[in-house]
Structures are given as C-alpha cells and as structure tokens.
C-alpha cells in the first residue's frame, strides 16, 4: 500500500493567489481528514469526510478555505485568496472505522504564502 499521498510537498505562492492541495487516501478507508499544523497552534482539524460526505467543517478558518471529495480516492483543499497567515504544513489523513484504529497521515504539504 502506498499510504496517503499528498501533493505538492512544497508550495510557495504570492498573497492573493489560489492554492489547491491534493490528497489520495488509502484505498478502502472511509474517513478523510484535513489538518493544519503550526508551531503556535499545533495540529488543527480543519474538516473531515465520511464516505465522501463532509461531516464537520467547523475547523475551517474562514470562507477562503474550501474542501471537496468528489470520489473515494481524491480530495482537495483550496485556499482562495491565500494570505501569509495561511503559511503552515497541511496534512491529509485517512482511516477505516473512524478514529478507533488511528489515522494514517500523509507526508504533508508545506505552504508558504509570501
């Protein structure tokens, strides 16, 4: 199994530009989670899906953030327009049967907005 695959690994963009982060979960996993990690705030849950349906997006910071999961093997997190304070590492994770057996995390996307 290739694990959770995220792309790109690194993204540098200018303030105001649109950014799209991508995630391919592990085949057979029915939950997908998007997290943001910063030194100040640690790991923050942004949104999660169950069977491709968004369940809880209360962690999405503001309307500039949106996430989709069009099918079981792909999800995107979009930021538009991006701001310097969005600079962070964004992780995607997937799991089978909610969190009982834990999540498998991707390697993350390091986003820098200048």
Q: Which is nearer to other proteins, 38 or 80 (CB)?
A: 38
Pairing outcome for strands 109-113 and 10-13: parallel
Q: Which of 60, 69, 93, 111 binds other proteins (CB under 8 A)?
A: 93
Q: How far is the CB of 15 from other proteins (least distance, A)?
A: 25
Please answer whether residues 57 and 33 qualify as being in contact, where contact means their C-beta atoms are separated by less than 8 angstroms. no
Task: Give yes or no for residue 57 binding other proteins (CB under 8 A).
Answer: no
Pairing outcome for strands 19-24 and 74-79: antiparallel
Q: Which of 55, 84, 85, 112 binds other proteins (CB under 8 A)?
A: 55
Contacts 24+ apart (CB under 8 A), 67-74: 67/34, 69/32, 72/25, 72/27, 72/30, 73/24, 73/25, 73/27, 74/22, 74/23, 74/24
Q: How far is the CB of 59 from other proteins (least distance, A)?
A: 6
Q: How far is the CB of 35 from other proteins (least distance, A)?
A: 9
List the interface residues with other proteins, window 15-44 (CB under 8 A).
31, 33, 42-44
Residue 110 has φ and ψ, to the nearest 5°, of: -90, 115
Name the site residues for other proteins (rule: CB under 8 A).
4, 31, 33, 42-45, 48, 50, 55-56, 58-59, 91, 93, 98-108
């Amino acid at each position: 199994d290739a694990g959770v695959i995220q792309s790109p690994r690194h993204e540098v963009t200018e303030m105001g530009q649109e950014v799209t982060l991508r995630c391919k979960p592990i085949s057979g996993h029915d939950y997908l989670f998007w997290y943001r990690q910063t030194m100040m705030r640690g790991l923050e849950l942004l949104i999660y899906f169950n069977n491709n349906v968004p369940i809880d997006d209360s962690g999405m910071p503001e309307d500039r953030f949106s996430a989709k999961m069009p099918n079981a093997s792909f999800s995107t997190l979009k930021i538009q327009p991006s701001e310097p304070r969005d600079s962070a590492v964004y992780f995607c994770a997937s799991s089978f049967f909610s969190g009982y057996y834990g999540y498998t995390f991707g390697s993350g996307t390091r986003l820098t907005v200048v």
